[in-house]
Amino acid sequence: MTAGSRTDRPGTGSDTRRRERPSEHRATEHRATGRAETAGEPDVVPPERTDALRRLRGSHEAAVLAELRRSGGLSRSALMTRTGLSRTTLSEIVSDLLERGTVAEKSAAAEAGLPRQRGRPAQQITLNARGAELIGIDLRRTRLQVVIANSAHEVVGRRECRLPARGGPDERGAAIAAAVEELARAGGLDLGPVQGIGLGLPGYVHDPATADPAVMTPDAARTAAALRRHFRVPVVTDNNARLAALAEVTWGAARGYRDIVYARWSEGVGGGLVVDGRLVYGAHGVAGELGHVSHDPAGAPCHCGGRGCLEGRISVPAMLAACAARGGTPGDAAGLLAQAAAGQEPARTVVTDAATDLGRGLAALAAQTDPECLVIDGEPATLGDLVLTPLREQLAALSLPSASRSVHVRAAALGDNAAALGAVALLLRTAGQGEELPDIPLPAGPSATVHPAAADTTAPVASPPGRAPQG
């Protein structure tokens, strides 16, 4: 995968969808190569003059890989026929892919368990299932989630680990690198073919002081630079709630929709907007941040500098405090949710009141963005209708009836892996593999479709819709 490449993939519906406008494509590319992240660091992204060549080569390469994904394995002549590439071009691309370990070449007869024929045996090119191609990272304040996808776009490894409470961006970069390498070692994965790393970070990733979403905050830039130095591949970054939104619209609860509002309701309250199939950033990179819309200008101060923010009213810590203030003893988040699910007061009222507040915030956002689907992520979303019903009621009460009647309100489907998977989706989109990303097979249930050899050091990648564990 090469940053900037794009391929039209027959049979995936790409021809019926809106094509990327050149200016949009440039903007994504810009984010991918990371002007800010390279400041003062050795730049492994090739100079601009080779970009055109890389793009062309990248799209040819993507075409070869897409054919191999579809078919499992092909001879060189079959690849030539299917991709329409010349013998010389195909040979160059295949040599490069072989060298990187992205593909392997095997005798077709041996593959089929047949005895060797006389003469030159027919060779088949196949994707290397053990080759790590895309790495998705979800970096939170105290923990880290890594997923690795191979060139067949199968998730072949995932891991979650705790982070040291203290440590700057360089230490975080080193901790991520160590986690990736340990996961690869444990799963027997080859990191040679890695093409890019997607990095999800909490909070502001793009500097809100500028109007340029390609300018990252210093911390985000340093963490990304540490990773780029270590693995010598492009690193694309974004806010992890926004990446979770991207994953849900690509492979999760909102798959198939073009316009969604995503809310992450957890330790904090964040969100993401997808409009016409694309993530929306806004002028300052904070579009969809519904947690910091003030619901009470005279309310309690918030860490964002505002007052009476939604996050301060409904976040999991705020609900725990509200429950305790009413004489409840929820203990922790799991306790609060268990009590609410069992109908125990005051937990139940605290949770449903918070859902009503969230519903008001979402209704305001929905009234302006007119989504097809609202996705609610985070621990309380696992309560299903207990929180979704008050949300739907607010939506019906506060939105235009014509819009609210047909909007779908759903619990997130990808669980705790959403942001790391979203980082993989961001890599694929940045590589020009567009809005149609049908290729990562995600488990429908525990270990259902995980690659058989997946190195899994945590829970299953995804949980069934409506039962999404979050933390």
**Tokens at 93, concatenated:** 């691309």
Q: Which is nearer to Zn ion, 290 or 431 (CB)?
A: 290
Name the minimum Å distance from CB 310 to Zn ion. Answer: 8
Question: How far is Cα 340 from Cα 312, in angstroms, rounded to an integer?
Answer: 20
Name the site residues for Zn ion (rule: CB under 5 A).
Answer: 292, 302, 304, 306, 309
Q: Which is nearer to Zn ion, 232 or 303 (CB)?
A: 303
Cα 320 vs. chain centroid, distance in angstroms?
29
- Please check whether residue 402 is in contact with residue 435, taking contact to mean a CB–CB distance below 8 angstroms: no
Q: Which is nearer to Zn ion, 309 or 362 (CB)?
A: 309
Q: Which is nearer to Zn ion, 304 or 324 (CB)?
A: 304
Name the minimum Å distance from CB 377 to Zn ion. Answer: 19
| Angle, alpha carbons 389-394-395 (nearest 5°) | 95
Give the pairing of strands 196-201 and 235-239: parallel
Name the minimum Å distance from CB 323 to Zn ion. Answer: 21
Amino acid identity, position 131: G
Q: Which is nearer to Zn ion, 119 or 305 (CB)?
A: 305
Q: Which is nearer to Zn ion, 306 or 384 (CB)?
A: 306
Q: Which is nearer to Zn ion, 185 or 303 (CB)?
A: 303
Phi/psi of residue 419, each to 5°?
A: -70, -40
Q: Per the omega criterion (within 30 degrees of 0), is the bond before 401 cis?
A: no
Q: What is the DSSP letter of 206?
A: B
Name the minimum Å distance from CB 265 to Zn ion. Answer: 15
| 3-class secondary-structure state, position 208 | coil
Name the minimum Å distance from CB 282 to Zn ion. Answer: 16
Name the minimum Å distance from CB 311 to Zn ion. Answer: 6
Name the minimum Å distance from CB 3 to Zn ion. Answer: 34
What is the spatial order of strands in the sheet that 132-139 belongs to? 235-239, 196-201, 132-139, 143-150, 155-162, 455-456
Question: How far is Cα 171 from Cα 175, in angstroms, rounded to an integer?
Answer: 6
Cα 372 vs. chain centroid, distance in angstroms?
20
| 3-class secondary-structure state, position 16 | helix
